[in-house]
Amino acid sequence: MRIDVLTIFPEMFPCWLGSSILKHTIEKGLVDIKVHNIRDYTHDRHHTVDDYPYGGGAGMIFKPEPVFKTVEAVKSTITDERVLPIIMLTPQGRLFTQQVAGELSAHRNMLLICGRYEGVDARVHEHLVTDEISIGDYVLSGGELAAMVVMESVIRLLPGVLGSEDSALEDSHVAGLLEYPQYTRPPEYRGWKVPEVLLSGNHAQIAAWRREQAIRRTLERRPELLEKAKLTTKERELVESLKNR
Ligand code: 6GU
């Protein structure tokens, strides 16, 4: 997958790009990330990317021209003819979830535009972008951190990125449940013991225990997730009995 990121703060990306898992993924050629500075696509002496809002109000608004110019320049370097999602990161977007990450991971290319909190000229939204994504109901000053969040969750779903192919399947949220608790050595630490079943070597019992723990944890922390989770009749009964305690 190739990802092009458009930003006015390109200096925010190298540290994240150099972090270990991502670095290996890039070196293996599984993903290619290109960061573009929108300011490089301005033509005035001051490299202006924003301006005051028509009608008044606080903050500055991204001008349309530098954004259109950057997208058009980047698009002209993409030879693959499959659909190219042009995604704006903005608190006005649809909510980013594991399912959206899965959708995006199927594309050959994607283009991410880091918006800014105060706003982007509406013509960019109306005539340039194909999708708008928010990473949650809180406000960031710009879309850069959101773009990194989206990229990191999408990239780990690409074939060959994770060591064992099925480890992404066990993640929280994939099955609609939170993950069960994990333990490593020692078997006893400060008097706190690892649950006996995990030391038993009985794989069926371990799987059953983990499943139940995942359900209990989800009920306790994120009960709304259980409505959409795929549970057996027996598991639904367990949920009801736990609720009625
Ligand atoms: Cl994508 N951008 C900004 N500026 N704030 C956000 C966000 C995005 N998602 C949640 N808050």
Would residue 118 show up in a list of annotated catalytic residues for this protein? yes
Note every long-range contact of 21-29, with CB atoms under 8 Å and residues 24 or more positions apart, other chains counting. 21/156, 21/161, 22/152, 22/155, 25/155, 25/158, 25/161, 28/160
pLDDT at residue 46 in the model: 97
Active-site residue among 65, 103, 118, 152?
118
Q: Is the pLDDT of residue 60 over 70?
A: yes
pLDDT tens by residue, 118-135: 899 999 999 999 999 999
Give distance in angstroms: CA of 138 to centre of ligand 1.
Answer: 7
**Whether residue 117 has its Cβ less than 6 Å from ligand 1:** yes
pLDDT over 70 percentage in the chain: 98
- Contact at 8 Å (CB) between 49 and 8? yes
pLDDT at residue 166 in the model: 57
Global pTM? 0.94
Which residue ranges form the domains of the chain, and what is each CATH number?
Answer: 2-155 (3.40.1280.10), 172-243 (1.10.1270.20)
89-98, 164-173, 203-212: range with lowest mean pLDDT:
164-173
pLDDT at residue 242 in the model: 96
Give distance in angstroms: CA of 144 to centre of ligand 1.
Answer: 9
**Whether residue 119 has its Cβ less than 6 Å from ligand 1:** no
Would residue 224 show up in a list of annotated catalytic residues for this protein? no
**Whether residue 183 has its Cβ less than 6 Å from ligand 1:** no
Active-site residue among 156, 216, 217, 222?
156
Active-site residue among 91, 131, 181, 216?
91
Question: pLDDT band at residue 163, thresholds of 50, 70 and 90?
Answer: confident
Question: pLDDT band at residue 173, thresholds of 50, 70 and 90?
Answer: confident
140, 141, 145: residue to mutate for ligand 1 pocket, most atoms within 8 A of CB: 140
Average pLDDT, the chain: 95
Question: pLDDT band at residue 115, thresholds of 50, 70 and 90?
Answer: very high
Would residue 222 show up in a list of annotated catalytic residues for this protein? no
Give strand pairing partners of 22: none
Residue 158 has, within 13 A of its CA and on its CB side, a CA count of 23
Question: pLDDT band at residue 139, thresholds of 50, 70 and 90?
Answer: very high
DSSP 69-131: HHHHHHHTT----S---EEEEEEEEEEP-HHHHHHHHT-SEEEEEE-BTT-B-HHHHHHT-SE
Helix pair 144-155, 98-105: axis angle to 10 deg? 70
Question: pLDDT band at residue 164, thresholds of 50, 70 and 90?
Answer: low
pLDDT at residue 33 in the model: 98
Q: Is the pLDDT of residue 170 over 80?
A: no
